[in-house]
Amino acid sequence: MFTLYPRPVPQVSDHTGEVGKLPVFWRSAEAPEGTPADVAPALYLHGVPTSSDDWLGFLERSGGIAPDLPGFGRSGKPGYLKHTIEEYADFIERFLDELEVQRVRMVVHDWGAVGLAFAQRRPERVERLVVMNAVTFLPGYRWHRTARIWRTPLLGELAMGMTTRRTLRLTTRESNVTPGPMPEAWIEAVLAHFDQGTQRAILRLYRSSPSSVLAAAGERLGALNMPALVVWGERDPYIPARFAQAYADVLHAELLSLPDAGHWWWYDRPDAIERVVEFLTAP
C-alpha cells in the first residue's frame, strides 16, 4: 500500500478544438506545485469503451492532458475514420502538434496502447512511459470473449445494440475485484457517449486488429529506452497477467503488480495512483 500525501489539487479544465477538421475534446490540469519546469506534461490515453473521464483522479494529482480519442466521448465520430492503430498514432502526433506540446510523459491503458505506436514512431517525444493493463502489442495474445464477439460481423452489431445499463452491470461484474459491477458513475459515463459513432469505432478498431497486427504494432518496442513503468491489475479477465511481465521485459521497465485489482485497477486500488504520479513527476 502507498502513503497518500496531502497536496493542493490542480483544477481540471475542459477544452474543445479541432485537429484538421475533426472536433476534439480534452481535459487538462497544471502540474502540481513544486514540479520542475522542465518536466514534460503527462499525456493520458484511455481505452474502450471509455473516455477522458477515466483520468480525472490522475489529472487532479499529476496534471497533464487527456483527450477523448476520435470515436469516443465528446470528440468527433465521423464515418470516414478507419479506427486503425496507425490512424490513432497519426491523431496523437497531430493533436500534440496542435497544442504545441513537443514532449510528453505518456500513460496508456487498454486501447490507449495506440500511444505505443506513436512512441515507436517518435520516441524523442516521449520522456517517460506508463503501461497499465494495455492491449498487448506482443506475440502470443489472443482476443478475449467479448472482443471475439465484437470482431464477428453481425454478432458484433447485435451486441452493440443490446448494450444497456442492465447489460453493462452484468458484463462488468468480472472487470474488477471489488464485488459487483463497475461503479454506477462509470456506467453512467460510458452510456452518456455510447452512441452509434462510438459503437462503429469499437467494431472497426477490433476488426482491424487481429493478433498478427497487434504483434506487428509492437515490433520496435524493444528499441525504446525512456524510463518505463508497468502497472497491472493481475485479476484482469481481458488481458492475462503474464503480459505485464512481458511488457516489463521488452520495455526494460519497473513492474508494479497489483494482485488485488482488475482491469480498471484504480477503482480497486486508488492508493496506487500515487505511484504513477511519483513516476510521472520525477525530475
C-alpha distance from residue 23 to each of 6, 201, 259 (Å): 37, 15, 39
Task: Return the bridge partners of 22, or none.
Answer: 19
Instruction: Please say whether the beta carbons of 83 and 90 come within 8 A.
Output: no
Per-residue pLDDT at 9: 61
Report d(CA 193, CA 102) in Å as an integer: 30
> Does residue 175 surpass a pLDDT of 80?
yes
Q: Which residues pair with 29 in a beta bridge?
A: 64
- pLDDT band at 36; cut points 50, 70, 90: confident
Closest CA to 103 of 93, 113, 116: 93
Residue type, 223: A
Mean pLDDT, range 196-222, rounded to an integer:
98
DSSP 3-state of 17: strand
Give me 200's grid cell: 462503429
- Predicted confidence at residue 8, as pLDDT, reads 58
- Taking residues 168-189, what's their average pLDDT? 94
The pLDDT assigned to 5 comes to 45
Going by pLDDT thresholds of 50, 70 and 90, the confidence category of residue 7 is low
Q: What order do you get walking across the sheet with 254-258 strand by strand?
A: 13-19, 22-29, 64-67, 42-45, 104-110, 126-134, 228-233, 254-258
Tell me if residue 131 falls in helix, strand or coil.
Answer: strand
Give mean pLDDT, residues 45-68: 97
Reported as a single tens digit per residue, the pLDDT across 254-283 is 999 999 999 999 999 999 999 999 999 998
- Torsion, CA 44, CA 240, CA 275, CA 116, rounded to 10: -30
In Å, how far are 78, 140, 257 from 118, measured between CA atoms? 22, 22, 25
The fraction of the chain above a pLDDT of 90, given in percent, is: 91
* Res. 24: pLDDT tops 70: yes
Predicted confidence (pLDDT) per residue in 61-94, tens digit: 999 999 999 999 999 999 999 999 999 999 999 9
CB-based contacts of 265-272 (< 8 A; 24+ apart in sequence): 265/132, 265/133, 265/176, 265/231, 265/232, 265/233, 266/57, 266/58, 267/176, 267/178, 267/182, 267/183, 267/186, 268/176, 268/177, 268/178, 268/233, 269/233, 270/57, 271/1, 271/2, 271/4, 272/2, 272/231
C-alpha 117/C-alpha 103 separation (Å) is: 15
Query: What is the chain's mean pLDDT, rounded?
Result: 95
Task: Give the number of other CB atoms < 10 A from CB of residue 40.
Answer: 18
With cut-offs at 50, 70 and 90, classify the pLDDT of residue 190.
very high
> How would you classify the pairing of strands 126-134 and 22-29?
unpaired
User: How far, in Å, CA of 113 to CA of 131, rounded?
Assistant: 8
Strand partners, 17: 24
Beta bridge partners of 14: 27
Burial of 162 (0-12, 13-18, 19+ CB in 10 A): exposed
pLDDT of residue 1 exceeding 50, the answer is no
